[in-house]
Amino acid sequence: MKKIRAAAASLALLICSLLMLGPAPTASAETYARISGAGSTWSQNAIDQWRREVAQYGMTVDYTGSGSTDGRNQFKQSTVDFAVSEIPYGMTEFGVREAPPTRGYAYMPIVAGGTTFMYNLKIGGKRVTNLRLDDATVAKIFTGVITNWSDKEIATENPGLTLPNRKIIPVVRSDGSGSTAQFTLWMSKTQGAIWNSYCAKLGKPTPCGLTSYYPIRPGSGFIAQSGSLGVAGYVKQNYAEGAITFVEYSYAIAAHFPVVKVENAAGYYTEPTPSNVAVALTKAQINQNKDSTQYLTQILDNVYSYRDPRVYPLSSYSYMILPTKLETPLTEAKGKTLGAFGYYFLCQGQAQATPLGFSPLPINLVQAGFDQLKRVPGVVPQNINVAGCHNPTFSTDGTNTLVKTAPYPKACDKAGPQQCSDGTGGAPAPTQVKPAANGSGGSSGGTATSGGTGSGTSTGGTGTSTGGTSTAGGSSAGTAGGGGSAAGGTGAVDPDTGQVIGDGTGTGDSTGTGTSAQDITASSVTVGDESFWGLRTWLMGLSALMLLAVVIVPPTLARRFAGGAKKGNS
């Protein structure tokens, strides 16, 4: 007993001493006023990371990811100390120009990144991770021109994949968003005709430039969700197979989902790795006029057309909108916090960008950012030697290290008959491609002819209950069963459903190399019953009746027996 008590006492002492030690460093550190901001969800993953890190210095930075539009609006209405937005004030959307705020403001780039297309697609129950699309196809998907994954245009760009006959579900943002603005800006510049005809169909004025609110037609199968987390979270659900959305790269990484490799001007399909984004943004035109309110804002036209094979075309910078006048709600104390926070993320914070899926700022923008911070009232200027920031773009000779060391894409990423099997985004698992597109020579093509053996059991469609079943590839299933010769896979086919049992021995994916038939990839699906008055309906009715009987019969019987017993007694 004594021992226990002694142990408890020492434990308590230990806790007390820890508690006393714990707050000591912060107590001696500087005090910071709490600041709040709102805006972009595109760069929210980076901002949240930085906020967590500066908390150790006693800084409390509140940030609400409510969309760039809302952030700019809240800054304008003086409800937040700073905003984060992908696009500056003064853009014209559907003929309405956004008025700049009356508050003093300035832009400061915070991080770079790529707007990606995250998708949820499976072939034969396996996730596709190497899909690639060019700009026209992307635009057609998001304007409802291409509505099926088995579309010919998608197939020609993905020679290694047998895409399923599944509906494409474009998922767009429902709130006012900078991601939407960046994406529609890119569409309007590179695929103006497709985008304009979509706008015209919806009764919007053309030419239709960028917009923060993606217009959708009711009943078109598009889904709109709020926030980057909302769209990414929707796409990754199991039921959302066939969905595709535009979202920052970091969300795809966090969701462990692949992103589309987009074709750049050099004819290579690339993904927005930090180095590809850095290469692309070397061509971004940054406003260098220090007197302009638009100082440091970006014009991305040259990024879209930059002919370097490493470029990811939808790269852009994200901006913080800083207050430059001592007006409500800004105070000197808040300015000090904002400055310290800014110095932190422009310097050390940039090293965190890469693992999250963003790209760090180049040295010139970091230095310009430092200068912009000095304009915030209350900032304590710091003389930071950028060499000590561990920013991956910095080098001693002034060149951008990240750009210099950026790897060139593989040969199989070039537009053409070959396709890389490597995974993308947060899904590094490779996707098996057809031997013909594999790039490892034609020899493997010859070995796969066994795909034609099929099995005799599946002849004639086998007639039993769930006849007329379909597998991926739609109508081709029936013919495969009937012919009994062109069925994919290695033999065993379920006689009831016509599906290939198991995943085969690896040759299942490399079906039908002969000239004979369409490729067939078996995907296990549940098949609905054909008629309304089928077995299922009767069973449902029966179970409903039985449930009712369980409730009603026992009391009825009991009452009757009880009544009988009473009569017998009397």
Partner 1 sequence: MRTRARTAGAGTSPEPGAADDRARRLHGDSGPADRLFRAVATSGGSLVLAVMLLVGGFLTYRAWQALRVAKWSFLTTAAWEPDAHHVGIAAVITGTVLIAAVAIVFAVPLAIGTALYISEYAPPRLRRTLISTIDLMAAVPSVIYGLWGLFFLQGKVIGLARWLSTYFGWFPLFKVDNADPHDPLATATVYTASTFIAGMVVAMMVTPIICSIIREVFSQAPVGEREGAYALGATRWGMIRAVVLPYGTGGMIGGTMLGLGRALGETIGVYLVISPVFEIQPHILQAGTSSVSSLIALRYGEASQFGMSALMAAGLALFLMTLVVNFVASSIVARSRSGATAE
Residues that bind partner 1 (CB under 8 A): 67, 69-73, 93-99, 164-167, 169, 174-176, 203-205, 212-213, 216, 218-219, 221-227, 230, 233-234, 237-243, 469-470, 472, 474, 525-530, 532, 537, 540
Of 332 and 530, the one with the shorter C-beta distance to partner 1 is: 530
Q: 70 in helix, strand or coil?
A: helix
**Cα–Cα distances in angstroms (integers) from residue 48 to residues 2, 208, 349, in the given order:** 49, 34, 11
Is the CB of residue 293 less than 8 Å from the CB of residue 100? yes
Smaller CB distance to partner 1: residue 95 or 442?
A: 95
SS3 424: strand
Residue 323 Cβ, how far from partner 1 at the closest point, in Å?
A: 18
33-to-30, 56, 104, 281, 505 alpha-carbon distances in Å: 10, 14, 21, 35, 64
Nearer to partner 1, 77 or 440 (CB): 77
The least CB distance from residue 352 to partner 1, in Å, is 25
For the CB of residue 100, give the shortest distance to partner 1 in the complex, in Å. Answer: 11
Give the C-alpha separation, 345 to 57, whole Å.
Answer: 13
Whole-number Å distance between alpha carbons of 65 and 42 = 9
Give the nearer residue to partner 1 in terms of CB position, either 117 or 344.
117
Do residues 65 and 41 touch, judged by C-beta distance below 8 A?
yes
Task: Closer to partner 1 by CB, 237 or 447: give it.
Answer: 237
Helix (H, G, I), strand (E, B) or coil at 145: coil
Distance in angstroms (rounded) separating the CA atoms of residues 556 and 545: 16
Three-state secondary-structure class, residue 501:
coil
Q: Whole-number minimum distance, CB 280 to partner 1, in Å?
A: 28
Write down the least CB distance from residue 328 to partner 1, Å: 20
- Closer to partner 1 by Cβ: residue 432 or 499: 499
Min CB(417)–partner 1 separation in Å: 27
For residue 560, the surrounding DSSP H or E stretch is helix 535-569
Q: Considering beta carbons, is residue 148 or 331 the nearer one to partner 1?
A: 148
Strand partners, 169: 243
Beta bridge partners of 170: 244
Give the residue with the Cβ less far from partner 1, 231 or 278: 231
**Contact yes or no for 342/373 (Cβ under 8 A):** yes
CA distance 510 to 448: 6
Least CB distance from residue 29 to partner 1, whole Å?
32
Nearest CA among 247, 365, 230, 351 for reference residue 296: 365
Q: Which of 308, 400, 309, 319 is nearest to 68 (CA)?
A: 319
DSSP 406: P
3-class state of residue 346 by DSSP: helix
For the bound state, the minimum distance from the C-beta of residue 73 to partner 1, rounded and expressed in Å, comes to: 4
> At closest approach, how far in Å is the CB of 550 from partner 1?
18
Looking at beta carbons only, is 116 or 212 nearer to partner 1?
A: 212
The CA–CA distances, whole Å, from 327 to 76, 119, 175 equal: 12, 44, 28
CB of 357 to partner 1, least distance (A): 21
Identity of the residue numbered 414: K
Q: Minimum distance from CB of 262 to partner 1 (Å)?
A: 24
**Bridge-based pairing state of the strands 169-173 and 223-225:** parallel
Cβ nearer to partner 1, comparing 42 with 269: 42
Nearer to partner 1, 209 or 362 (CB): 209
